[in-house]
């Protein structure tokens, strides 16, 4: 069991410092990308100016998580499929259009995927293990696997999360690259995990990735069988509504993309909602199914108590 | 639990595969030349001579992809040569890359800006994760696929992730390493940081001015004991130690004393159960930037005190291959262990005043090399160390 000690999310929903995101879920709001907290509360004004939305979100969630748990993380693991898109596009524009021999390096420096983790280490003055995983729609799941390995290696207070950033250009190319049923959005969700339960009420019991998925119900039931759970006694099943037909039964299902909007790490948002559902309801198991991309299946099982 | 290395492959400016690479190393022949492409012509770079089509033809690559993916396929196929996929050996691939398919995206984005024929479907090759999926597909691997992107320490971190997954029993065998191709994006980026040397780079030299960029890929195959019993492969070396630590000093610069570097070297020695005096050769990160080499020198002196083992940076051979460097240098470490090599640090003439360290200058063969420590440091203060050992 990997107990969730703290969660911090910034998303299209009012998720930041929200203890019951499940109950407060509303239809996706096209008026804004995310409901952002007041970043000045977390990041000094002079740094804030330079930071892109994904860095602001990641750093703020990490600082908030640290404030909640009150002790230094001994590992920091970040997942992101597309990384710091705003700075990447900015630097592309700069070097393609500039005729000058002198370019500002800021956007280049902040374009690498691990700028999020690097900024967290700087912001928290943290010298611990600092890892960045990027594996398309399973970036959060592989990060969770690393976080679990960290706990098996003896780490006691592990920060793990995922973040994605929407840019306008992505909307332009969306129809060619990924489903355009759902609006694109940004989002970041970070979790603090430990092996000791402490005050936690919900744990991540198991995570599985499948890179050769045929998207069958059998793949899901085999995973659950290994964990001594059945689909029927999963109190709530979160799906990305792509191909799996689990909704055919009497199961309680939620298509989380309707609330988070579409981004490759939306399963991290769903994990936050699943946690709040279990914590505040008479329920035991929740399952997050991530089949956003063909062939790739992510499964996260959460358990109360 | 021991983590066995049972295969290796590499491609860089000094050669494709072991034979060509060793010939260059023996002759102290750098692969860094004046660039031969439009975007590299103004620089000294370590380019792989073959074009994308030549790579596909010569190595019979069935999977399409960015140059980063193609270079990765060449090195990973070499590493996996002689291995077969088996149902009872859970096999994965973990690759490090920093640019992913940027070589394709930057051309497409230029078309977009210039209102020329813009094909958004080409961005399907963009993501770093896709790069690894394509390499895995070329090898037929689907047990586990992951990509680490921590800039220049990516491949070293991929080695570490693979070792930890084997140790925990999640995988039996895993191909680990990294790949990066030369892109206008990275060339312009490092130029904007003003850390290029217009001349050949001089790692650990007093007058070093900066780095030369390179491209390439390096992969090794890791196996558990249980896997070896089934695959019957003969282990070539061990991955005995690994660590990652944060410098937490600056987004791009290293701390003056190399705090993160010290932490990662100490912890890697702990994981390996070794003392500093056990290390026979250090393959340094040694990018030849004024900041890295001074900081790394301080860190090495702090760990190894008065008995500093032979050390060198091989970046003056290959150029700095960014996310691939830890993979290519891991293959160098396997070669060093198996052939008793000490690899020369090219272009050195005078030691850095503050630290007075002189690296290994000559190519030597037939030494006893039991343990090699290899450093890889990346932007974001991401410091990694791996230790490879004799079986």
| CB-based contact B158:B169 (threshold 8 Å) | no
Of B98, B168, B184, the CB nearest to A112: B98
Instruction: Report CB contact under 8 Å: B146, A142.
Output: yes
Which residues in chain B touch residue A89, judged by CB atoms under 8 angstroms apart?
109
User: Structural domain boundaries of chain A?
Assistant: 2-194, 202-304
Pair of tokens at residue A95: 């070097």
| pLDDT at residue B29, as a whole number | 98
| pLDDT at residue A249, as a whole number | 61
Closest-CA distance of chain B to residue A223, Å:
15
pLDDT band at B265 (very low <50, low <70, confident <90, very high): very high
Closest-CA distance of chain B to residue A242, Å:
19
**What is the DSSP secondary-structure string of A169-199?**
HHHHHHHHHS--SS-B--EEEEEEEESS-TT
Q: Determine the average pLDDT of the residues in B349-367.
A: 98
Residues in a beta bridge with B282: B311, B373
| pLDDT at residue A90, as a whole number | 97
Instruction: Report CB contact under 8 Å: B150, A126.
Output: no
Q: Of B22, B85, B101, B33, whose CA–CA distance to B363 is shortest?
A: B22
Predicted confidence (pLDDT) per residue in B185-212, tens digit? 999 999 999 999 999 999 999 999 999 9
Give the helix/strand (H/E) hosting A130: strand A129-133
Q: Of B280, B288, B274, B276, whose CA–CA distance to B319 is shortest?
A: B288
| pLDDT at residue A305, as a whole number | 85
Indicate the pairing of strand A236-239 with strand A285-290.
Answer: parallel
Q: What DSSP character marks residue B196?
A: B
| pLDDT at residue A16, as a whole number | 98
Chain center to CA of A184: 15
Which residues in chain A touch residue B136, judged by CB atoms under 8 angstroms apart?
211
Q: Of A70, A32, A11, whose CA–CA distance to A272 is shortest?
A: A11
Instruction: Report CB contact under 8 Å: B149, A117.
Output: no
Closest-CA distance of chain B to residue A297, Å:
11
Of B123, B189, B259, the CB nearest to A127: B259
Residues in a beta bridge with A4: A193
Alpha carbon separation from B389 to B239, B274, B307, B339, B370 (Å, rounded): 6, 10, 19, 13, 5
Report d(CA B70, CA B48) in Å as an integer. Answer: 12
pLDDT at A246 over 90: no
Q: Which residues contact B234 (CB under 8 A, 6 or more apart)?
A: B6
Closest-CA distance of chain B to residue A81, Å:
7
B44-46: strand order across its sheet: B33-34, B44-46, B213-214
pLDDT at B130 over 60: yes
pLDDT band at A241 (very low <50, low <70, confident <90, very high): confident
pLDDT band at A180 (very low <50, low <70, confident <90, very high): confident
Which residues in chain A touch residue B260, judged by CB atoms under 8 angstroms apart?
127
Alpha carbon separation from A247 to A239, A240, A241, B209 (Å, rounded): 9, 11, 9, 62
| pLDDT at residue A244, as a whole number | 61
Residues in a beta bridge with B28: none
| CB-based contact B242:B385 (threshold 8 Å) | yes
Q: What are phi and psi of B123, to 5 degrees?
A: -70, -5
Of B113, B123, B246, the CB nearest to A127: B246
pLDDT at A242 over 70: no
| CB-based contact B307:B282 (threshold 8 Å) | no
Q: Determine the average pLDDT of the residues in B140-164.
A: 98
**Helix residue ranges, H only, chain A:** 45-48, 53-69, 85-97, 106-109, 115-123, 139-152, 168-177, 217-226, 257-260, 266-280
pLDDT band at B254 (very low <50, low <70, confident <90, very high): very high
**What is the DSSP secondary-structure string of B78-107?**
HHHTT----TTS-EEEEEE-SSTTHHHHHH
| pLDDT at residue A174, as a whole number | 85
Instruction: Report CB contact under 8 Å: A125, B128.
Output: no
Report d(CA A13, CA A26) in Å as an integer. Answer: 7
Instruction: Report CB contact under 8 Å: B188, A91.
Output: yes
Of A95, A122, A134, the CB nearest to B147: A134
Report d(CA B155, CA B151) in Å as an integer. Answer: 9
Average pLDDT, chain A: 94
The architecture in CATH of the region A2-194 reads 3-Layer(aba) Sandwich (3.40)
Predicted confidence (pLDDT) per residue in B9-62, tens digit? 999 999 999 999 999 999 999 999 999 999 999 999 999 999 999 999 999 999
Helix (H, G, I), strand (E, B) or coil at A74: coil
Residues in a beta bridge with A254: A238
| CB-based contact B148:B230 (threshold 8 Å) | no
pLDDT at A248 over 80: no
Answer whether B115 touches A (CB < 8 Å): no
Which of A106, A113, A167 to mutate against chain B (most B CBs within 10 Å)? A113
| pLDDT at residue B240, as a whole number | 98
Pair of tokens at residue A164: 């994605």
Report d(CA B268, CA B243) in Å as an integer. Answer: 5
| CB-based contact A147:A93 (threshold 8 Å) | no
pLDDT band at A46 (very low <50, low <70, confident <90, very high): very high
Which residues in chain B touch residue A145, judged by CB atoms under 8 angstroms apart?
165, 170
CATH topology match: A2-194 vs A202-304: yes
Report d(CA A278, CA A282) in Å as an integer. Answer: 7
Of A81, A109, A173, the CB nearest to B127: A81
Helix (H, G, I), strand (E, B) or coil at B260: helix
Of A92, A94, A152, the CB nearest to B168: A152
Answer whether B87 touches A (CB < 8 Å): no
Predicted confidence (pLDDT) per residue in A139-172, tens digit? 999 999 999 999 999 999 999 999 999 999 999 9
Answer whether B28 touches A (CB < 8 Å): no
Alpha carbon separation from A22 to A238, A273, B70 (Å, rounded): 12, 5, 45
**Which class would CATH give A202-304?**
alpha beta
| CB-based contact B178:B326 (threshold 8 Å) | yes
Q: Please give the domain boundaries of chain B with CATH numbers for all domains.
A: 1-391 (3.40.47.10)
Give the helix/strand (H/E) hosting B52: helix B52-58
Which residues in chain A touch residue B243, judged by CB atoms under 8 angstroms apart?
129
Indicate the pairing of strand B91-96 with strand B173-180.
Answer: parallel
Model's pTM, two decimal places?
0.98
Alpha carbon separation from B111 to A174, B37, B107, B230 (Å, rounded): 17, 19, 6, 51
Q: What DSSP character marks residue A112?
A: S
- Three-point CA angle A190, A192, A197, nearest 5°: 145
Give the helix/strand (H/E) hosting B337: helix B325-339
């Amino acid at each position: 069991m990997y107990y969730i000690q703290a969660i911090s999310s910034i998303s299209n929903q009012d998720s930041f410092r929200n203890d019951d995101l499940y109950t407060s879920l509303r239809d996706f709001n096209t008026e804004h990308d995310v409901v952002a907290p007041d970043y000045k509360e977390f990041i000094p004004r002079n740094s804030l100016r330079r930071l892109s939305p994904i860095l602001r979100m990641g750093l703020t969630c990490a600082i908030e998580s640290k404030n909640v748990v009150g002790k230094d993380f001994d590992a920091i693991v970040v997942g992101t499929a597309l990384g710091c898109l705003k700075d990447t596009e900015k630097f592309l524009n700069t070097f393609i259009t500039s005729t000058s021999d002198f370019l500002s390096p800021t956007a280049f420096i902040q374009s690498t995927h691990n700028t999020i983790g690097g900024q967290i280490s700087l912001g928290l003055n943290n010298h611990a293990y600092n890892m960045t995983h990027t594996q398309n729609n399973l970036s959060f799941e592989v990060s969770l696997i690393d976080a679990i390995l960290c706990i098996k290696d003896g780490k006691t207070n592990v920060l793990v999360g995922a973040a994605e950033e929407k840019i306008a250009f992505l909307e332009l190319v969306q129809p060619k690259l990924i489903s355009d049923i759902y609006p694109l959005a940004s989002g970041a969700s970070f979790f603090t995990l430990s092996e000791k339960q402490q005050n936690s009420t919900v744990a991540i019991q198991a995570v599985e990735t499948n890179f050769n998925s045929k998207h069958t119900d059998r793949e899901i039931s085999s995973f659950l069988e290994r964990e001594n759970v059945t689909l029927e006694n999963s109190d709530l099943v979160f799906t990305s509504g792509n191909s799996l037909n689990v909704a055919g039964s009497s199961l309680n299902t939620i298509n989380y993309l309707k609330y988070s909007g579409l981004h490759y790490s939306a399963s991290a948002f769903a994990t936050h909602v699943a946690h709040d559902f279990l914590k505040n309801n008479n329920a035991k198991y929740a399952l997050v199914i991530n089949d956003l991309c063909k062939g790739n299946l992510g499964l996260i099982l959460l358990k109360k108590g | 639990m021991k983590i066995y290395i049972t295969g290796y492959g590499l491609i860089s400016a000094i050669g494709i595969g072991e034979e060509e690479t060793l010939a260059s190393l023996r002759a102290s022949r750098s692969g860094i030349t004046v660039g031969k492409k439009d975007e590299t012509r103004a620089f000294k770079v370590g380019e792989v001579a073959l074009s994308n089509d030549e790579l596909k033809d010569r190595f019979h690559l069935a999977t399409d992809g960015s140059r980063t993916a193609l270079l990765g396929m060449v090195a990973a196929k070499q590493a996996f040569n002689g291995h077969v996929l088996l149902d009872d050996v859970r096999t994965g691939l973990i690759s490090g890359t920093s640019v992913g398919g940027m070589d394709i995206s930057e051309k497409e984005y230029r078309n977009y800006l210039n209102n020329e024929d813009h094909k958004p479907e080409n961005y399907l090759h963009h993501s770093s994760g896709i790069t690894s999926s394509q390499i895995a597909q070329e090898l037929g691997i689907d047990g586990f696929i992951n990509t680490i992107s921590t800039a220049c320490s990516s491949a070293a971190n991929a080695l570490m992730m693979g070792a930890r997954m084997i140790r925990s029993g999640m995988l039996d065998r895993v191909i680990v390493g990294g790949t990066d191709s030369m892109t206008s994006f990275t060339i312009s980026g490092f130029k904007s940081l003003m850390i290029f040397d217009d001349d050949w780079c001089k790692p650990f030299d007093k007058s070093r001015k900066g780095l030369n960029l390179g491209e390439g890929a390096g992969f090794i195959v890791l196996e558990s004991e249980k896997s070896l019993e089934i695959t019957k492969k003969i282990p070539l070396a061990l991955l005995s130690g690994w660590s990652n630590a944060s410098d937490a000093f600056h987004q791009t610069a290293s701390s003056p004393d190399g705090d993160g570097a010290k932490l990662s070297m100490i912890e890697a020695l702990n994981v390996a159960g070794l003392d500093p005096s056990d290390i026979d050769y250090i393959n340094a990160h040694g990018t030849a930037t004024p900041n890295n080499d001074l900081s790394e020198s301080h860190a090495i002196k702090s760990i190894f005190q008065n008995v500093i083992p032979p050390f060198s940076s091989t970046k003056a051979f290959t150029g700095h291959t960014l996310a691939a460097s830890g993979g290519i240098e891991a293959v160098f470490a396997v070669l060093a262990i198996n052939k008793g090599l000490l690899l020369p640090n090219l272009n050195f003439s005078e030691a850095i005043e503050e630290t007075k360290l002189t690296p290994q200058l000559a190519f030597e063969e037939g030494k006893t090399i039991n343990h090699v420590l290899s450093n890889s440091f990346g932007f974001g203060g991401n410091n990694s160390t791996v230790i490879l050992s004799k079986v």
